[in-house]
Amino acid sequence: MGTLLVTGANRGLGLEFARQYAADGWRVLATCRDPGAARELRQLAAASAGHIAVVALDITDPASVRAAAQSLAGTAIDVLVNNAGVGSPKNQRLGQLDYTAWARVLDVNTLGPMRVTEAFLDHVAAGGERKLVTITSAMGSIADNASGGSYAYRSSKAAVNIVMKSLSIDLAPRGITCVVLHPGWVRTDLGGPGGRISPAESVAGMRRVIARLTPADTGRFFTYDGGSYPW
């Protein structure tokens, strides 16, 4: 089995990634901003027979990202999942936009995955699978935007899509496969109670996609059930 690093592992999809990969015998590096406050993740790690290690990492803090990468120096990572993210600020309407809040969303959803990717690039290049996966959203698709609104969230996900597309080209010489994945509408804190699928269903589907990835897939936009999504 391989080694997985997943960001935002204290809840939702990140926690489910940690649970499922650990259950299959993978070594899981489960990162979150505040391990002391991540009660459910710590409980999962304690019951994982050593498969899960909790790592402090704030994707908005360059020093924190560097420190996490340095603490794992020499560790090969087979699959890196950029999962940590935030939703749209509340009550944001045209004419009443909070640009400071918008910048925060971009910092987390776009710059954060890039910080993590840069810091852990050598770790991934040393892995056997060399897969870099970023959790995006259908709301980042320009072609599929028929409802408007959600300016901060949509722009942050569209931006991370193009960042990862560029990385797929730049990292191809190192044999790294780089894709973005839409997890579906999931019943999480971010997706809300009306989501169509559970975190377990979403992650199980995404794991199947990740397992099948080859270098020929680099630069693609997939859905959790294996379909291609329009940019």
Instruction: Give me the domain span that covers residue 113.
Output: 3-223
Q: Is the dihedral of CA 93, 95, 99, 103 positive or negative?
A: positive
In a domain, 230, yes or no: no
Catalytic member of 99, 151, 153, 224: 151
In a domain, 229, yes or no: no
Question: From first to last of its 231 residues, what are the pLDDT tens digits of the chain?
Answer: 899 999 999 999 999 999 999 999 999 999 999 999 999 999 999 999 999 999 999 999 999 999 999 999 999 999 999 999 999 887 778 888 999 999 999 999 999 999 999 999 999 999 999 999 999 999 999 999 999 999 999 999 999 999 999 999 999 999 999 999 999 888 766 666 666 788 999 999 999 999 999 999 999 999 999 999 999
Non-local CB neighbours of 164 within 8 Å, separated by 6+ positions = 113, 132, 134, 136, 178, 179, 180, 219
In a domain, 96, yes or no: yes
Amino acid identity of residue 58, one-letter, is: D
Predicted local distance difference test score (pLDDT) of residue 89: 84
DSSP lists the bridge partners of residue 130 as none
Predicted local distance difference test score (pLDDT) of residue 91: 75
Query: What are the backbone dihedrals phi and psi of residue 182, each rounded to the nearest 5 degrees, phi first?
Result: -90, 120
Non-local CB neighbours of 223 within 8 Å, separated by 6+ positions = 138, 181, 182, 184, 229
Per-residue exposure over 18-38, b if at least 16 CB sit within 10 Å of its own CB, e if not: bbbbbeeebbbbbbbbebeeb
Q: Are the beta carbons of 40 and 32 closer than 8 angstroms?
A: no
In a domain, 49, yes or no: yes
Predicted local distance difference test score (pLDDT) of residue 210: 98
Tokens linked to 93: 């309407």
Q: Are the beta carbons of 23 and 98 closer than 8 angstroms?
A: no
**How many residues are recorded in the chain?**
231
Predicted local distance difference test score (pLDDT) of residue 189: 65
Location of structure tokens 């910080």: 115
In a domain, 152, yes or no: yes
pTM of the model: 0.95
- Give 215's DSSP letter: G
In a domain, 231, yes or no: no
Whether 229 sits among the annotated catalytic residues: the reply is no
Helix ranges (DSSP H) in the chain: 12-23, 39-46, 62-71, 99-106, 112-119, 121-125, 151-170, 199-212
Predicted local distance difference test score (pLDDT) of residue 193: 67
In a domain, 228, yes or no: no
Predicted local distance difference test score (pLDDT) of residue 177: 98
Query: What are the backbone dihedrals phi and psi of residue 54, each rounded to the nearest 5 degrees, phi first?
Result: -90, 130
Domain count, the chain: 1
Q: Is the dihedral of CA 161, 162, 165, 167 positive or negative?
A: negative
**Pick from 28, 52, 8, 20: which is nearest to 200 by CA?**
20
In a domain, 192, yes or no: yes
Predicted local distance difference test score (pLDDT) of residue 191: 60
CATH (domain of 78): 3.40.50.720
